Amino acid sequence: MSTSSSAPPALALSQRASRVKLSANAAASARAAALAAQGRDVLALTSGEPDFDTPAHIKQAAIDALARGETKYTATPGTAALRQAIVDKYRRENDFDYTQAQIVVGNGAKQIVFEAFAATLDAGDEVIVPAPYWPSFPDIVRVNDGTPVIVPCDEASGFKLAAQALEQALTPRTRWLILNSPGNPTGAVYSRHELEALAAVLRRHPRVLVLWDEVYEHIWFGDAPPAHLLHAAPDLRERTLLVNGVSKTYAMTGWRIGWGAGPEPLVRAMVVIQSQATSGANAIGQAAAAAALQSHDQRFVGEARAAYARRAALVAKALAAVPGIAVLPPQGAFFVYANCAALIGRLRPDGRPIATDIDLADWLLEAEGVAVVDGASYGLSPYIRLSIAASDAVLADAVQRIGRAVAALKAAG
């Protein structure tokens, strides 16, 4: 007797899953890694990850925590020691008075952003996202049923949101405005005057919350630290969530520790959501993060900032010398966002056109093994983003390779 069988039905995924895509940085890094695995010589300038090692005293704090047996569950909002270290950091560095109840520690800053939107967005609620943007911002809005409202901020504006553009983007459905300074991917830094102008608009719209992404707070290249939103407009504090972490400042990306500081009702709601998602962040990472913030030895922060400033200047100058590429030098973070408009329409040696910045990024990888990320992934084309979180030698080599790849392109017709 024979039995008939049929293939199982296709796995049905949620609409939520279909709204988002793999991180652009992760996708570009995966392509570079695949080529490297095939034996290609690849320089990956895709990831916002410091090439420096975590400072020794921070690693020792983790070892000491292990020796003390700090290997158990942690409180969902974070250990008391780390939350107090964050409170002390804000008081010492920023002259802000927060309490532990206004702090939530997560598995990286990205989790904090996710929880903030999960706690506040309903279907149809809007979030203003200035472009160029960190690609996770609009996708985290979408996965939480919100609608990202993308506001292009061109090179003429320094890639920064102007007050008039903010006013035009606001609607009765607006729940959040995202501001990122120093910014990823452009390295843009808002001045106090620019923040005051944005705050004047926000005061007319009291329902709108502000997510102030300060992850690159300590990576700036000017004569003084960048202006802070809550110094320019302290009255916005009760509707502002500060998002920060130790990943960039202390070269601790793999430790996965970020935090949010904001109004207590919002923080409480975020803690509830975290309690049903991941619970508390890892104990050893929190002990290391507390040591990083509390240490009297902050030399690494200044030394790393000086290195990033040197590298940013090196890459911006060298890229600007490549015919067809223009660069607005970054003011912070560790990226260079290079304008490649003059290369659009050129032809590869095989006759295929460079029709978009995606095509250019593919060509740089194929021709010279330089992995960058296209500007389309950040919401503003035609640009390419290069990470400067690599050694001076690697960066110099990468720019030379980019020059060769560009020189190989031919004018159409």
Return the pLDDT at 7: 53
- Is the pLDDT at 413 greater than 80? The verdict is no
**Average predicted confidence (pLDDT) for the chain:** 95
Residue pair 286/58 in contact by the 8 Å Cβ criterion: no
- What is the percentage of the chain residues whose pLDDT exceeds 90? 89
- Is the pLDDT at 74 greater than 90? The verdict is yes
Specify burial of residue 20 (Cβ count, 10 A radius: 0-12, 13-18, 19+): middle
> Which residues are 87's β-sheet partners?
none
Return the pLDDT at 58: 98
List pLDDT tens digits, range 137-190: 999 999 999 999 999 999 999 999 999 999 999 999 999 999 999 999 999 999
Our CA dihedral for 32, 134, 144, 256, rounded to 10 degrees, sits at: 70
Spatial CB neighbours of 310, under 8 Å, sequence gap ≥ 6: 392
Give the whole-angstrom CA distance, residue 159 versus residue 228. 17
Give the Å distances, CA to CA, from 118 to 112, 201, 273, 276, 327.
10, 25, 8, 12, 37
> Which residues are 138's β-sheet partners?
none
In this predicted model, which residue has the larger pLDDT, 72 or 1?
72
- Is the pLDDT at 273 greater than 90? The verdict is yes
Sign of CA dihedral 16, 373, 225, 326: negative
In this predicted model, which residue has the larger pLDDT, 65 or 18?
65
- What is the percentage of the chain residues whose pLDDT exceeds 70? 98
- Domains of the chain (ranges, CATH numbers): 20-49+300-407 (3.90.1150.10), 56-294 (3.40.640.10)
Residue pair 261/90 in contact by the 8 Å Cβ criterion: yes
Return the pLDDT at 28: 79
Return the pLDDT at 44: 94
The DSSP-derived string for 277-321 is TT-SPPHHHHHHHHHHHH-S--HHHHHHHHHHHHHHHHHHHHHHT
Give the Å distances, CA to CA, from 374 to 184, 206, 347.
13, 36, 18
Mean pLDDT of 114-139: 97
Give the whole-angstrom CA distance, residue 11 versus residue 256. 31
List pLDDT tens digits, range 179-221: 999 999 999 999 999 999 999 999 999 999 999 999 999 999 9
Would you place residue 30 in the very low, low, confident or very high pLDDT band (cuts 50, 70, 90)? confident
> For residue 108, how many C-alpha atoms fall within 13 Å in the half-sphere facing its CB?
12
Tokens matching residue 231: 């110094």
Would you place residue 102 in the very low, low, confident or very high pLDDT band (cuts 50, 70, 90)? very high
Write down the pTM of the prediction. 0.94
